[in-house]
Amino acid sequence: MASVADINSNIRFFLGNADESFITDADLNRIIQETITANPSYSDCDVYYYSLLSCIRFNIRSSQKSSTSSAGGLKRRKQKEGGIEVEEEYHQATESTSSTGLETLLKDLIKNPNQIGCVITSLSVAAGKPSGNILIGGVSIAEKERVVNNPDRVDPWSSSSPLRSHLSSNKGKLIG
């Protein structure tokens, strides 16, 4: 297993030699350690990939938190005293370009995880890919078994289904 410092260095390199102003070593090391702790079976590449995703998400949240209110600065103010009419117009607030760029990078990494230079062995649903478990209709295997083994279940192949009943009662009759 690669050390936290090695993964930290690789993430900073991938992000264009990101410095401490992007994310501190303490924050990045904590993200890496939490990724390792979350799933000890992760390979080095998995830890690198999921830590990189978490680092980008952390930075996006940090930039959104540090931005001011949803409105931009005051553009124009009109005030009338007799009748108390106040009209204010604000500049439109825009997202920072770095946040938008990070969101694009995050989407690209989720779409093509192998661009980091190694093969991810454990893709999770959070990254937009199945984790190797069979997903049937978006439910767990236990839920699928519960539904399949339910004695009150009806499907088109059951002898008691409405479709079979309709076909049996209309046998030999022309439909139309």
Contact 97, 41 (CB under 8 A): no
The amino acid present at 140, given as its one-letter code, is S
Q: Which two tokens stand for residue 14?
A: 């991938």
CB neighbour burial string for 116-155, b if at least 16 within 10 angstroms, e if fewer: beeebebbbeebeeeeeeeeeeeeeeeeeeeeeeeeeeee
- Does this model's pTM top 0.75? no
Q: Which two tokens stand for residue 87?
A: 């009209």
Pairing type for strands 85-90 and 74-80 reads: antiparallel
Angle between helices 4-14 and 44-66 (to 10 degrees): 60
- What pLDDT tens digit does each residue of the chain (176 aa) get? 789 999 999 999 999 988 998 899 999 999 999 999 988 888 899 899 999 999 999 988 887 766 554 455 556 667 777 767 777 666 555 545 455 788 888 888 888 888 888 878 776 534 444 444 444 456 667 777 787 777 777 665 556 656 666 666 766 666 55
Render pLDDT for 129-148 as a digit per residue (tens, 0 to 9).
Answer: 444 444 445 666 777 778 77
Contact 27, 58 (CB under 8 A): yes
The H or E element containing residue 102 is: helix 97-111
